[in-house]
Homo-oligomer: A and B are copies of this chain.
Amino acid sequence: MPTFHIEMFEGRSVEQKRELAAALTETTCKVLGVDASSVDIIFHDVKPENWATAGKLWSDPR
């Protein structure tokens, strides 16, 4: 039943998500010994103005 929530900056292509989902699922099945059908992955696209590190938004110049 592993369920992934992955927050990352918006802008990744569907092709990247497709490839990432397939690879992460395969890795998880191998390491945990679970069936692929039990793995769910949910991507959250985050705008740079909605993510701050060290108190500074990523939409601002660093």
- How far is the CB of A62 from the nearest CB of chain B, in Å? 12
Q: Is the interface of A mostly helix, strand, loop or mixed?
A: mixed
The residues of B that contact A59 with a CB separation of less than 8 Å are: 14
Contact of A12 among B9, B32, B51, B56 (CB under 8 A): B32
Q: How many copies does the complex hold?
A: 6
Residue of B nearest to A9 (CB): B1
Check A24 against B27 for contact (C-beta < 8 Å): yes
Residues B39 and A54 in contact, CB atoms below 8 Å apart: yes
A14 to B55, CA, bound (A): 13
Q: List 21 A-B contacts (CB under 8 A).
A: A1-B7, A3-B40, A3-B42, A4-B4, A4-B5, A5-B5, A14-B59, A16-B31, A21-B52, A21-B56, A22-B55, A23-B30, A24-B24, A25-B52, A25-B55, A27-B27, A39-B53, A40-B40, A40-B53, A42-B50, A42-B51
